[in-house]
Structure 1
Amino acid sequence: MKEKSKLQTRKLLDKGRRSLLRGIFSRTTVIAILLILQVLFLMSAFSWFQQYQSYFRAVEIILEIFAVLYLVNSEMDALSRITWLLLIMITPLLGVLFLIYTKLDWGYRGLKARLSDLTTLSQPYLPENTIVVNELKKEHSTTYNLVKYFRRTRDGFPVYTGTKVTYFPSGEAKFAELKKQLLQAKKYIFLEYFIIDEGLMWGEILAILEQKVNEGVEVRVMYDGMIEFSTLSFDYTKRLATLGIKAKAFSSISPFISTYYNYRDHRKIVVIDGEVAFTGGVNLADEYINHIERFGHWKDTAIMLEGKAVDVFTILFLQMWSITDQNPDFQAYLGQHQKPIETDGYIIPYGDSPLDTDKIGENVYIDILNHAHDYVHIMTPYLILNSELEHAIRFAAERGVEVIIIMPGIPDKPVPYALAKTYYEPLIKAGVKIYEYTPGFVHAKVFVSDQIKAVVGTINLDYRSLYHHFECATYLYKASAISHIERDFQETLAKSQQVTLESLKKESLSTKITGHLVKTIAPLL
């Protein structure tokens, strides 16, 4: 028995040593070391420059003046400008150089140009249906004005009818339907996700994908390159290739500092044969279906589209896939839409890119808030608001609209959670009702208003999601699924506890201090 115990101990030690060596000599470690060395080099260069600061003081002052003038006249929101001005005030030269560095955006110019070209190429495949638009115009609906806004954006997203919408109030419900739909694929399967993590959920989906490849179905998988540091190995695309699956990591991390890394692919898209599409908050990891518990019960949502509106998600996927590939044949992958689908409201799927000037995600949310009559109900995991969005939420409540926001009861990140708390008091005083989901974490990104409008997608109420990530969502108007979304909201609300001004006073001092300190750099989070 002792010998057996010693052998087991030796095996564990050997395994530990191998893991340690893999960690030390892994690509992650090498990249981290090279990044640290670059940061140290920049700091050393700055220190060297400081020695001769007296000689260059006039240049420094001129740079500061130009930086302040730029910020005052820029299109940034007020809080972003304040953040930059504070940074320049505290460390003038370093702040100005950092501002120049971020605005030059070294490392992404090629990406921006390529995506712009792909957007132009895809325009003919997103035609405007004048009959549908005129129907909305006759209704004198504010959604008609929103449709005109969508057509003015760089991507020109159209409004659709002839599309069926199914709403899923949980990751488990989406997972069950997704497997059914994947098994029915005949031509191709496209998957684009922010997070893929090995486990039960991805394992079952991967098994289906492998089966479909053997049946002759084309399968493409795309995920954000940041997860190569956390959930997947750096060679995962090659591993999928051995199964016959085409795979790509968007913006993989390399040992060179670039603002490119600020732009993450936060989308969750599945397209099957151009006829069925999924989106929403649910990633491909076990916590999203509550197979494992991370932050209590995980509350999430998703929707499935069947019909004409799926074309938008097909094109969004092909645009992202083709950034590092040849121009796609958009027409070859668009659905035939021969299956008759009874019109169920008006559907506008859309994407949001950090590489253009269209703040689509934010503008859609503000439009809903500004035109609400009775209520706006919101589920979001984060609440880091700029001045425009905060004003829209407060003003809606102040003019008598019932605005309710459901936030996590158990946060996944303590700092953004503390920051969110700093917005609670002014919102509550304006009449906004804030609840926290007692069983756990809310990851849903949902707006629903007046029983006739809703948005389900990937867009959080924070700076990163609204300004720095590639996102997507679906706007619904007069669709039957909206009543299901509202019912789910009410069921979630019943499991949540209201935040009051009195309960805010009981928050820990560390949470209050953290929130107010971090608020000065909120746009960077």
Structure 2
Amino acid sequence: MGKNEPGKAKSGLSRIIFSRTGFILLLILIQLGLFIVTTNLLQSYALFINGTLRVVGVVVLIYIINAEGNPAFKMTWMLCVMAFPAVGTLFYIYVKSQVGVRWMGKRLATLKIETDPYMMQDMDVVDALRASKPANANLAYYLAHHMGFPTYRNTEVTYFPLGEDKFDALVPELKKARKYIFMEYFIVEKGYMWDTILKILVQKAREGVEVRFMYDGTCAISNLPYEYPQELERKGIRCKMMNPIRPFLSTVQNNRDHRKICVIDGRVGFTGGINLGDEYINRKERFGHWKDTAVMLKGDAVQSLTMLFLQMWNVDEKEEGHYTRYLTPRRQGLRRELGYVLPYGDSPFDNENVGEEVYFHILNHAKKYVHIMTPYLILDNEMITTLTRTAKSGIEVIIIMPHIPDKWYAFVVAKTYYRELIRAGVQIYEYKPGFVHAKVFVSDDDTATVGTINLDYRSLYLHFECGVFIYNNSVVDRVERDFQETLMKCHKVSLVELRNRSLFSKITGQVLRLFAPLM
């Protein structure tokens, strides 16, 4: 093979090492190393400082025990503080001080106030929902009045059982754009899918359509050049890299934008698990066949996706956003057959676990079944209790997991939960053709949610996420039908199979589970 041509991007590990991102990651590692070395030196040579740190460590442990928050996170921090008194204590204090994070939480709270007038709940919708299913009305009230996510009617929902199905629908909708295109994605990787979309975005920008594109900063590690936003700006596309990797230690690096949102002219919106990479549409094979899902909304509920995008876009903007120009025209009349549609978002800075609350709601109010697809299964005690109690109550609970994982360590940890779930009556299946990246709950032929939220700590507590809760819309039948079709390609996991796992896999999973909240 010949040498790389001048100007051609390096690939693989060398591209990371010799890039600006590699330099930033090196600086972060150096800072972390200095932090540990300095702490150890203080512990070794200063008896007074060491004693002081131990006292502080005890105070920190008392604080952790009494603090609000998830018990699993508390246990992990307690383990760190007790195992490494100096480093663990100081690092916990550093993390809790929220260096580099406080401004974002405050800014998002301000943006929520700005967008509240455009996210008002029509109480007639809630009243109608209460007459149909009071429990869902309670969820709607919570999400509208406390989180700012209203429930809508008059919204058509199309479900895509594969990434290629969503892509085939997205391309023509992008070509129809006349006013604006908003896109927000976690992963963007050059290839057929992104090249096709980019060509349309560039053409639309030339036609005078306002095009905004936002992606998570982790893409700069290996997928895109660090200066990619400037490259798109030169093509007429307004672009932002959300939460870029920066050369300083900060907990903000842990809060990724995991959302996948596309809004076109306020008339159509997309969300779900599908990123912008060729593996998501099975044009490139990674981990076997890639099973993913998405939904397309047309109608009143698109406005919530628009506002979710604008809130994130305006985080680093100084002026108030011009929201009125992007409002969704409301449909006249009432189409009862479309039921109720509730788009929602989740933020790590509002002390509300919206995604998990939606999942709890579906599990707690199921009458016949709850069917789940998720790529990861790293659960806190509340979720384990809810899943097992639901199954013990005679409700059919089935979880479809990947058979070919993308992260081996997450997979061995997931298997440590299998035994307890299966013994309680939860059925676990693995998708034999490959990898399941879908994030779907469907229940009782009338309720479903499709979005970006995995059943793991990162999605439920640390990332920016989104989803759509759907009730009494015919698309729920399509979601359940897809689940059953997927189930036919799956292998049911048994207790015998779990017992026959290798000793290495069992021990590795049990050890890594200690650090599950950090995975």
TM-score, normalising length: structure 1 = 0.95
Deviation at 1:58, TM superposition (A): 4.2
Deviation at 1:150, TM superposition (A): 0.9
Q: Identify the match of residue 64 of structure 1 among 57, 62, 66.
A: 57
Equivalent positions of 1:78-477 (< 5 A) are 78-153=71-146, 155-325=147-317, 326-338=319-331, 342-343=335-336, 344-477=338-471
- Structure 1: which amino acid aligns with 2:170? L
- Structure 1: which amino acid aligns with 2:378? I
In structure 2, the partner of 1:3 is none
Identical pairs, percent: 49
Farther off after superposition, 228-237 or 134-143: 134-143
Partner deviation per Cα, 1:210-246 (whole Å, 9 max, x = no partner): 1111211110000001110111111111111111111
- Structure 2: which amino acid aligns with 1:522? A
Deviation at 1:251, TM superposition (A): 0.7
For 1:241 and 1:178, locate their aligned partners in 2 and report how far apart those are by CA, in whole Å. Answer: 22
1:44 aligns with 2:33: no
In structure 2, the partner of 1:31 is 24
Unpaired segments ≥5 residues, structure 2: none
For 2:155 and 2:369, locate their aligned partners in 1 and report how far apart those are by CA, in whole Å. Answer: 26
Deviation at 1:332, TM superposition (A): 1.0
Preserved contact between residue 295 and residue 450 of structure 2 (Cα < 8 Å): yes
Q: Give the SS at the match of 2:385.
A: helix
Deviation at 1:105, TM superposition (A): 1.2
For 1:24 and 1:450, locate their aligned partners in 2 and report how far apart those are by CA, in whole Å. Answer: 50
Partner deviation per Cα, 1:481-502 (whole Å, 9 max, x = no partner): 0000000000000000000000
- Structure 2: which amino acid aligns with 1:121? E
Q: Identify the match of residue 513 of structure 1 among 496, 507, 515.
A: 507
For 1:378 and 1:134, locate their aligned partners in 2 and report how far apart those are by CA, in whole Å. Answer: 29
Deviation at 1:37, TM superposition (A): 2.0
| CA spacing shift, 1:495–1:13, aligned 2, 3 Å | closer
Partner deviation per Cα, 1:166-185 (whole Å, 9 max, x = no partner): 00000010000000111111
Preserved contact between residue 373 and residue 450 of structure 1 (Cα < 8 Å): yes
Preserved contact between residue 164 and residue 341 of structure 1 (Cα < 8 Å): no
In structure 2, the partner of 1:478 is 472
Q: CA RMSD in A?
A: 1.8
Deviation at 1:34, TM superposition (A): 1.6
TM-score, normalising length: structure 2 = 0.96
In structure 2, the partner of 1:12 is 3
Partner deviation per Cα, 1:143-172 (whole Å, 9 max, x = no partner): 01111211342x321110011000000001
| CA spacing shift, 1:299–1:390, aligned 2, 3 Å | same
Preserved contact between residue 36 and residue 87 of structure 2 (Cα < 8 Å): no
Deviation at 1:365, TM superposition (A): 0.4
Q: Give the SS at the match of 2:284.
A: coil
Q: Give the SS at the match of 1:12.
A: coil
- Structure 2: which amino acid aligns with 1:426? E
Farther off after superposition, 67-76 or 99-108: 67-76
Deviation at 1:29, TM superposition (A): 2.9
For 1:265 and 1:29, locate their aligned partners in 2 and report how far apart those are by CA, in whole Å. Answer: 20
Farther off after superposition, 62-71 or 203-212: 62-71
Deviation at 1:276, TM superposition (A): 0.5
Q: Give the SS at the match of 2:414.
A: helix
